[in-house]
Amino acid sequence: QKEVEQNSGPLSVPEGAIASLNCTYSDRVSQSFFWYRQYSGKSPELIMSIYSNGDKEDGRFTAQLNKASQYVSLLIRDSQPSDSATYLCAVNRGGYSTLTFGKGTMLLVSP
Amino acid sequence: ETGVTQSPTHLIKTRGQQVTLRCSSQSGHNTVSWYQQALGQGPQFIFQYYREEENGRGNFPPRFSGLQFPNYSSELNVNALELDDSALYLCASSPQGREGNTGELFFGEGSRLTVL
């Protein structure tokens, strides 16, 4: 079982729709969870972090964490073509800032 | 505030050669991590440096080595290059080391290495 699993996609949504990106992780002691956005040919950019169960909202982005189910998700409301990118889920066991990444989900937002 | 900077941005080497990649951490960040990202994959942890000492290492062979300098900048060295070393090498800095950090990493633009 891979440590962090994501559907590779592509996930295609029309402009204005809600995009839902999902991630599962295997290490139950994981404490910190992150979503990075990576445009083609560019480096990952941190867009959301979440540390406790529940929802965390930041603008059009909402991160959801369920530690019992070992599940993290990212919702993007009012999706824009500029949101088209690969979204990487990453987890951290705490203490040291060593992240384990999934392979990423490609999101395509069509005008 | 200056972000993480890496050099060179692109380079081409041949199998068996050696390469050195450089990274300047974001102002105020004392921890530097290096990741390798192959095409279509997520970044893979190579190692981390905190206050000039290696602070953790991923599943990479000893021919991958590094340094951190007193100003927190860092180098990644790869000896005896293999074709599979072709990847984007990412440097990331974070504001705290050892216990107590949040885990947030801030990446540079990366160095794309091609091994022929």
Q: What are A43-58's pLDDT values in tens digits?
A: 999 999 999 999 999 9
Calpha distance B52→B55 (Å, rounded): 9
**Averaged pLDDT, B38-57:** 91
In the predicted structure, residue B97 carries a pLDDT above the cut 60: no
Calpha distance B9→A16 (Å, rounded): 35
- Residue with the bigger pLDDT between A95 and B51: it is B51
Q: How confident is the model at residue B100 (pLDDT cuts 50, 70, 90)?
A: low
User: pLDDT of A86-103, one tens digit each?
Assistant: 999 999 876 665 889 999
Percentage of chain B with pLDDT > 90?
72
**What does the pLDDT read at residue B98?**
52
Instruction: Find, among B38, B39, B40, B111, the residue nearest to B74 by Cα.
Output: B111
In the predicted structure, residue B2 carries a pLDDT above the cut 90: no
Q: Are A6 and A101 in contact (CB under 8 A)?
A: no
Q: Which residue of B has its CA nearest to A32?
A: B103
Task: Flag if B31 and A92 touch (Cβ within 8 Å).
Answer: no
A74-88, B26-40, B91-105, range with the lowest pLDDT: B91-105
In the predicted structure, residue B96 carries a pLDDT above the cut 70: no
In the predicted structure, residue B8 carries a pLDDT above the cut 90: yes
What residues of B are in the A interface, CB distance below 8 Å?
A: 31, 33, 35, 40-45, 48, 55-56, 58, 88, 90, 94, 96-110
Chain B neighbors of A98, CB-CB under 8 A: 33, 45, 48, 56, 58
**What does the pLDDT read at residue A94?**
66
Q: How confident is the model at residue B73 (pLDDT cuts 50, 70, 90)?
A: very high
Beta bridge mates, B70: none
**Averaged pLDDT, A75-94:** 94
For the beta carbon of residue B53, count every other beta carbon within 10 angstroms. Answer: 9
Task: Flag if B107 and A44 touch (Cβ within 8 Å).
Answer: yes
CA distances from A58 to A1, A9, A48, A55 (A): 31, 24, 8, 10
- Residue with the bigger pLDDT between B89 and B102: it is B89
Query: What tokens were used for A58?
Result: 């930041």
